[in-house]
Amino acid sequence: MPEILVLNGPNLNLLGTREPATYGRATLEDVRALCEAAGERHGFGIDFRQSNHEGALIDALHEARARHAGVVLNAGAYTHTSVALRDAISAIGLPVVEVHLTNIHAREAFRHRSHIAPVALGMICGFGPQGYALAIDALGAHLAGAS
């Protein structure tokens, strides 16, 4: 069964308890369940991870090259500062869908720039945890179209 890597960046481990007015009350475990349900619809296994370390996220993307069919990436704040994550995405050659819980264009100006977007397949933002399910659907459609 093909597997999708769902990779979460810094501070997402606090989801549900962190600024719920901004990020909602669903926890990262709730997001995982939502992803697994969506994966099941497409016949994908889900490898769900989180790290606060930029280097660990890069390592995870590198590993994905041999193991996964695609990536759903919520890079959190590294979205706005990490060229290294951008290069990792270019390097592994897998389809990557960028997800954000909030509409980053409706927040502070420094959140409007994404280093990742130019090398991602596409971006989905502003729909909360539901965005992860949409991302898996998008990946499903993309991989079906590519095969």
6 forms part of the interface with a second copy (CB under 8 A): no
Can you say how many angstroms the Cα of residue 6 is from the centroid of all Cα atoms in its chain?
6
Sign of the dihedral defined by the CA atoms of residues 53, 29, 38, 99, in that order:
negative
Binding flag, residue 58, a second copy (CB under 8 A): yes
Catalytic residues: 23, 100
Rg over CA atoms, the chain: 14
Q: What is the DSSP string of 73-135?
A: EE-TTHHHH-HHHHHHHHHH---EEEEESS-GGGS-GGGS--SSGGGSSEEEESSTTHHHHHH
The site that binds a second copy (CB under 8 A) totals a number of residues, namely 55
Q: Which of residues 35 and 138 has its CB atom nearest to a second copy in the complex? A: 138
When binding is defined by CB under 8 A, the residue of 36, 52, 63, 94 that contacts a second copy is 52
Pick the closer one to a second copy by CB: 47 or 54. Answer: 54
Indicate whether 5 belongs to the interface with a second copy (CB under 8 A): no
**Considering the rule CB under 8 A, would residue 26 count as an interface residue with a second copy?**
no
Contact in structure between 116 and 98 (CB atoms under 8 Å): yes
b/e per residue 26-51 (b: at least 16 CB within 10 A):
bbbeebbebbeebbeebebebbbebb
Beta bridge pairs of residue 99: 124
4 binds a second copy (CB under 8 A): no
The minimum distance between CB 75 and a second copy, in angstroms, equals: 10
Contact between 27 and a second copy by CB under 8 A: the answer reads no
Enumerate binding residues for a second copy (CB under 8 A).
9-11, 13-14, 18-19, 51-56, 58-59, 62, 76-78, 80-84, 86-88, 90-92, 103, 105-106, 110-111, 114-115, 117-127, 130-131, 134, 137-138, 141-142
